[in-house]
A and B are shown apart, each in its own frame.
Chain A
């Protein structure tokens, strides 16, 4: 892995600070021009209105500058649209460890979504209930465990 790629991949999501933008699946490409050294980073938002995008762009530029790549451009693309299916296994494990229930597989268009039990990230119980369909960020819903009574965030399938 190039130093540029490694530096960008290590940038953490500003709103869910336990996971990197690479693990979240929003980092699409890191291209380095061998002649000029210019780095072009391509990212995609989780949600169209995600307010973290400006911070992420600034963090990427800062990380690249610190790694010796001051000449950088951050591009934003919207197709193909981000899906929670792009969150890596490692990313899912980190979310669960931080008390955020990872998303189930996203339903593809036309298919009736199958509702799977959301397991409590604290005690592992499947006896959970949704408190609020929306949460502290665009990508989360609020749930509660009926066994251990702990409320927790759940990343919505998208």
Chain B
């Protein structure tokens, strides 16, 4: 396994080997998906006004907006499932880090552009089969959200895969950076597929689709697929990297300082 040279991608705490299978009812499941999308949106939006080129600035902001749209639907529905009167804003702005259920992958810092693309590529390669499966699940609301979001996910995957190929099969420097980004983020993908047979869609069933996409694109990009070994997890149980706390502080400060503030 290649050296993990990116210090920003190091998890401050690692979980024990036995990752507890969380009894994921529809609420926990929907909350986790909503948190994935919300945190991904916040990270992607950090690129707004500072992407390497104008077109990419627009692209990353657009993808962030799609993620935010999915997050709003999922968190609104999670609030309904919970039945405690929490709406999308209460869930997004008034929970602390330990109450967030997003995967660690989305909260990792953006790093360089290659790291951002590796993260987006792995996320989209997971979200596309996930939303597609949701579209056919028994829960009418989740099916509607899945049917809608999968179309947007397909475009995200297309876009990220294009950059992974372009950078991987580009110059020596872009290849080196893309490979380092893939190596650095790869350990975090395993958490996405932790088995949860009770969930509306068991994430473990999405792994084959994900692996097929990743194998194809990495080969086209002349990149090496990392060996699977170290597999940090804990996001689904609320045990996060320190990076999430800073992200939430920035995202939530306005709402917490001025509760109920409106434009």
Contacts and interface: CB of A to CB of B under 8 A. Distances in A.
Interface in A39-93: 45, 47-51, 77-82
B55 A47 contact: no
A134 B47 CA distance: 15
Interface stretch (B6-14, B20-28, B141-149, B210-218): B141-149
A81 B147 CA distance: 6
A156 interface: yes
A49 B69 contact: yes
B65 A51 contact: yes
A45 B149 CA distance: 11
Contacts, number: 67
B66 interface: yes
Interface in B125-149: 132, 140, 143-145, 147-149
Interface string B49-82: 0000011001101110111111011000000000
Interface in A129-153: 131-136, 138, 142
B55 A78 contact: no
Given A48-B72, A49-B67, A138 B62 contact: yes
A78 B62 contact: no
The A interface, classified by DSSP as helix, strand, loop or mixed, is loop
B203 to A, nearest CB: 21
B230 interface: no
Given A134-B58, A135-B58, A47 B69 contact: yes
12 contacts: A48-B69, A49-B69, A49-B70, A79-B143, A81-B144, A81-B148, A81-B151, A82-B148, A132-B54, A132-B59, A133-B59, A134-B63
B147 A80 contact: yes
B147 A134 contact: no
B87 interface: no
Contacts of A45: 69, 148
Interface of B: 54-55, 58-59, 61-63, 65-70, 72-73, 132, 140, 143-145, 147-149, 151-152, 155, 159
A155 B116 CA distance: 26
B59 A49 contact: no
Given A48-B73, A48-B148, A80-B147, A138 B66 contact: yes
B135 to A, nearest CB: 8
A79 B140 CA distance: 9
B157 to A, nearest CB: 12
A9 interface: no
A135 B58 CA distance: 7
A47 B144 contact: no
Interface in A12-51: 45, 47-51
A132 B65 contact: no
Given A49-B72, A78-B73, A133-B159, A138 B65 contact: yes
B152 A134 contact: no
Given A134-B58, A135-B58, A156 B70 contact: no
A75 to B, nearest CB: 13
A158 interface: yes
A134 B162 CA distance: 14
A78 B145 contact: yes
A127 B145 CA distance: 37
A63 to B, nearest CB: 23
3 closest residue pairs by CB, A with B:
A49-B69, A48-B69, A79-B144
Contact of A48 (B140, B149, B155): B149
A82 B62 CA distance: 18
Given A48-B70, A49-B66, A134 B148 contact: no
A136 B65 CA distance: 12
Contacts of A132: 54-55, 58-59
Interface in A79-126: 79-82, 109
Contacts of A77: 144
